[in-house]
Structure 1
Amino acid sequence: MAMTGIRTVTANVGLVGQSPPEAIVDRHAPAGIQRLPQQHRTALTELAHWSYGATGGVVFGMLPPRMRAYPGIGPVYGLAIWASFEAGIAPLLGVQRAKQTRTLSRALIAADHVLYGIVVAGRLAPEPQVIARKHRSRSPSWIAGHCEQ
């Protein structure tokens, strides 16, 4: 959803044209979806994109805890998702984004994937046990004992 916010702003000010999910729906959606009114097609496109993002979040959760603990893993993961789309999925689906998209647009799309990775990794709002662990490691032992209760 955070990516959608960024994409909405960048598209509405003319910095980003058609998004990858829109290009996929335009090219590969069944005829029944193609005949829907634009607002319904847009809603289905967002739903599909959010489902893809949620699946990416599940996959991130399956990474080894030690890997997920690395501070930079979120942005790296987000960029890896974007790169895998650009290098693998887009060519398979015939979406020619790399050749048709301006450098600024590509940078903005990469940036929203960095945000996705930060959110998926929980860096904006860490889980309470992560906060407690960090607090215990910086506190005298008599305070750390109270954090566990």
Structure 2
Amino acid sequence: MARPGGTAPLAQGAARGVVAAMAMSGLRTLSGALGVVRETPPEAIVRERGPSLLRAVPERGERGVIELMHWAYGAVGGAAYSALPRRLRRRWSTGPLYGVLLWGLFEAVMAPLLGLRRTRQPRPAERVALLVDHVLYGWIVGAGSPLRDQRR
């Protein structure tokens, strides 16, 4: 049995982060098929700033590598969420707010630092779709926390 404060909560958070990133991918597939999202943030990063990351990857495997990168980022975000103070994680709203915060940080800080053109174009429907999938991410990362079970 893992000790409180050990690596188990981080691993559980990372696992929830991977599952949440997978759920986001499903939602983005739907919004892409509906024509709402033309290009996801991970695709934009690789296309505009990271082609060298995929140089050794056969073209048919590029989408898979981009997806794995997204899941890894989701894992890091989930692990970071699990490190938040307990009093925050006990609130049902913390997970969705965390997801929105991650998206906001990407849009306000990371995308401009990376020089991504996508953030300079007005796309209200696409932004709403990305907001919704980050709420989904946060909801999944924050759901099922053992802390919630202890409150009952």
Fold shared per TM-score above 0.5 = yes
CA 1:79–1:66: 2 relative to 1, 3 Å: same
Match of 1:130? 148
Normalised by the length of structure 2, the TM-score is: 0.78
**What are structure 2's unaligned runs of at least 5 residues?**
1-21
The root-mean-square deviation of aligned C-alpha atoms, in Å, is: 1.9
Measure, in 2, the Cα distance between the counterparts of 1:107 and 1:88: 18
Q: Does 1:119 align with 2:140?
A: yes
| Partner of residue 15, structure 1 | 36
Query: What code does the residue aligned with 1:103 have?
Result: P
Rg larger for:
1
Counterpart of 2:79 in structure 1 is 58
Q: Which letter does structure 1 place at the counterpart of 2:73?
A: Y
Alpha-carbon distance in structure 2 between the residues aligned to 1:73 and 1:32: 34
1:34 touches 1:41 (CA, 8 Å); kept in 2? no
For residue 132 of structure 1, report the CA deviation from its aligned partner. 6.0
Counterpart residue number, 1:74: 95
Structure 1 residue runs of 5 or longer lacking an equivalent are 135-149
Deviation for aligned residue 1:103: 0.2
Number of residues of Structure 1 aligned to a counterpart in Structure 2: 131
Equivalent residue in structure 1 for 2:110, among 89, 111, 121: 89
What does the per-residue CA deviation read over 1:37-90, in whole Å, with 9 as the maximum and x for residues that have no partner? Answer: 443111111111111111000000000011111221011100000000001110
Alpha-carbon distance in structure 1 between the residues aligned to 2:102 and 2:147: 27
Percent sequence identity over matched residues?
Answer: 42
Using structure 1 for the length normalisation, give the TM-score: 0.80
| Structure 1 residues 30 and 65: alpha-carbon distance in aligned structure 2, compared to 1, 3 A threshold | same
Secondary structure class of the residue paired with 2:54: helix
